[in-house]
Amino acid sequence: MITFLRTLFLLCCLGCATLYASPSESAINASLVAIGSEESIDDIRALSGIQEKYQTGYKALYKRYKNTKEEHQKIAKKFEEAGIPLFFSLIPYCESNFNPDSHGRGTAGLWQFMAQSGRTYGLTIEKGNDERTNVCRSTDAAIRYIKELKGVFGSWYLADFAYGMGELKLQRLIRKNKSKKISVLLKDPEFPDGTRNHFAKTLLLDAAIHHTKSDNDTP
């Protein structure tokens, strides 16, 4: 009986390890290509050891994804129809833990819009009716915003950086470094840690969910 229980325990541990294993480098590189990067993970020294460094955060976010997969698919469909990489459909996991009722410091909803930004992209924000917490409406606003950022900066990964740190901050970093490369921007000491962490964890999620082949849909 003890041997059976020990075997069962080991199998459960093995199953959990497989479920939350970090994606391979090839999957991460596929994710980088999908958001317009000409650099591989080997070229980006600031992301060296990304699988180990962000393993704990990645596990928690991937578990949340598994628990909200049906809701996420509705959002992913909107991004697919808009011609935006599915990488961006995963932003809410890092922004709000995929909680439409989430509130931060002046932000709210899946996409954590500030009130001014939300109104700029068509959301009604007033007492008793804050559309930042409306999944459909806020996702449509996020799509408009992300497409606009892509138009301004010319690549999808820069659109993600701008989403995280703001347009003016990113423009200043690009001018300072005279480069738009991920490897150059991420190593700048003025690159916000929050935006770097947001990008790294979203990259891992995207690699696992959209670029990892598996018979049982696990990374």
What are the tens digits of pLDDT across the range 77-129? Answer: 999 999 999 999 999 999 999 999 999 999 999 999 999 999 999 999 998 89
What region does 186 belong to: left with phi over 0, alpha with psi -120 to 50, or beta? alpha
What is the percent of the chain with per-residue pLDDT over 90, rounded to a whole number?
A: 85
Which residue ranges form the domains of the chain, and what is each CATH number? Answer: 25-210 (1.10.530.10)
Dist CA 79 CA 70 (whole Å): 15
Query: What are the residues facing 129 on neighbouring strands?
Result: 126
Euclidean distance between the first and final Cα of the chain, in Å? 33
Residue with tokens 């001014």: 116
Ranking 6-20, 27-41, 160-174 by mean pLDDT, the lowest is: 6-20
What is the percent of the chain with per-residue pLDDT over 70, rounded to a whole number?
A: 88
Running DSSP on this structure, what letter comes out for residue 129?
A: E
Name the band, by pLDDT with cuts 50, 70 and 90, for residue 22.
confident
Dist CA 33 CA 92 (whole Å): 21
CB-based contact 132:117 (threshold 8 Å): no
Distances (CA, A) of 210 to 164, 166, 179, 218: 22, 27, 28, 10
The mean pLDDT value of the chain amounts to 90
pLDDT above 70: residue 4: no
pTM recorded for the entire structure: 0.87
Phi, psi of 103 (to 5 degrees): -130, 135
Dist CA 157 CA 139 (whole Å): 19
